[in-house]
Amino acid sequence: MTHTDPPLGLRVAPHLAVVSMGYVMFGYAGVPDFYLNQYDIGYASFGLVLSATLLPFVLVQWPASRLVERTTTTRLLIVATGVQAALALTVDFAPTFPAVLGLRFLWGTAAGLVLSVGATHVARLYSGDSASRQQGVYGGMLTLGGAFGFLITPRLVAATNGIGIHALGTLIAIPAVGILYLNRTDRLTGPSETTSDAADASVLTNPVVILASVCYVAAIGSYLTLSTFITSYFEGLGILGPLNALVLGVATLGRAAGGSAVVGFSVTDPKLIAGASAVAVLGFGTLSAAPTGPLRVGLPLLVMLAVSLPFGAIYNVAADATAAKGSALAMVIAIGNLVALVLPVVTGSIRDATGGYEGAFMLLVGLNTLAIGSAVIITRTHQ
């Protein structure tokens, strides 16, 4: 943490902001049948609903990296959180499926800023092991919002025919905006004086940041694929209860636990990434071949835990690799989401063509294998 102990409001505000964002981002995935029937689409198009959000995530990272080096993340979060909350109000009223995609795209421009600026906010308030733990908590709050969405959106569909699936996220954002506004004059979250244009440019060629980006591709790609289709996956097994929310709950615990493991068990960030990715490879590989039975039900919980553990570690590795923390985090988020945005569509297409998700699980085996190799190389560079 910085030498000046930051106010509680500064510490909790990014977590509250990202809960709202997580609800809007993933809540719709808790009611796939509503969208399939409402807009007469297939699973590939359903995957596009998430991809329409991820594309602007990528596009806003460069301006995000410039903005955080010019002003405080507190001020940026006030604007980004408020705008994403306002845009969330519009999506539920989209008359056509292209309108849904367009409005989700617009929302994603603000949400992408929330994600990147919030991560930079945490990086500026904490350092070392504490930063790993707090980045894990930050990521966990995103999935907590999604888990809440999985629980509440089926009830909204039944009560309001879909109104509130996105709009409820606006109410969740209000406390975050209020707390940030009260702390709008802070200077603790301003850019570091050691950051320079040269350091900012060097991020693009920094080998550790590049390798961390590969690890993030695997983690975010696996996480997003599971989050988007887990409801449909369990419905295919005849399970209609809140098990989908439990999977995202495991992701919340996994992200927080991953950051805490670095502190409590003296596990280095790269080793945590490598170990968790290895478990993910084993889990996804088994899922792709396992017959119907208990493994099919239990393994999604295990693999979601595995791909969630490294989030804080990946952010911390990237942020520690250069003085330009904001630019490093923006690059990791941009590359990760650039690759990940195709996975929901590919997974949906596989589901439409085969009636199952085995092919998608094998793709995720490949991505997590690359993450293992990248983490091993990062470990060697730190020796």
Q: Which CATH number is 141's domain given?
A: 1.20.1250.20
Distance between CA atoms of residues 169 and 183, nearest Å: 22
Position 77: which residue type? L
Q: Considering only the C-alpha atoms of the chain, give the largest distance between any 2 of them, rounded to a whole number of Å.
A: 58
In a domain, 3, yes or no: no
3-state secondary structure of 29: helix
In a domain, 249, yes or no: yes
pLDDT one-digit tens code per residue, 94-124:
999 999 999 999 999 999 999 989 988 988 8
In a domain, 1, yes or no: no
What was the pLDDT predicted at 290?
83
- Count of domains for the chain: 1
In a domain, 362, yes or no: yes
Find out whether 200 and 331 touch, Cβ atoms under 8 Å. no
Q: Which domain holds residue 265?
A: 8-381
Rg of the chain (C-alpha set): 19
Distance between CA atoms of residues 219 and 341, nearest Å: 13
Find out whether 47 and 101 touch, Cβ atoms under 8 Å. no
Give the residue from 250, 260, 266 showing the smallest Cα distance to 301: 250
Give the residue from 122, 132, 120 showing the smallest Cα distance to 65: 120
What was the pLDDT predicted at 1?
45
Tokens of 304: 């979601």
In a domain, 291, yes or no: yes
Burial of 193 (0-12, 13-18, 19+ CB in 10 A): exposed
Find out whether 364 and 273 touch, Cβ atoms under 8 Å. no
In a domain, 89, yes or no: yes
What was the pLDDT predicted at 66?
85
Find out whether 20 and 172 touch, Cβ atoms under 8 Å. yes
Tokens of 193: 């004086």
Sign of CA dihedral 236, 239, 245, 247: negative
Distance between CA atoms of residues 216 and 221, nearest Å: 8
* pLDDT tens per residue across all 383 residues of the chain: 444 567 888 899 999 999 999 999 999 999 999 999 999 999 999 999 999 999 998 899 888 888 988 889 999 999 999 999 999 999 999 999 999 999 999 999 999 999 989 988 988 888 777 777 787 788 889 999 999 999 999 999 999 999 999 999 999 999 999 999 999 888 888 887 655 554 555 777 889 999 999 999 999 999 999 999 999 999 988 887 788 899 999 998 888 887 666 555 567 889 899 999 999 999 999 999 888 788 899 999 999 999 999 888 898 888 888 877 778 888 898 888 888 889 999 999 999 999 999 999 999 999 999 999 999 999 887 65
In a domain, 338, yes or no: yes
In a domain, 174, yes or no: yes
Tokens of 103: 């409005």
Position 168: which residue type? L
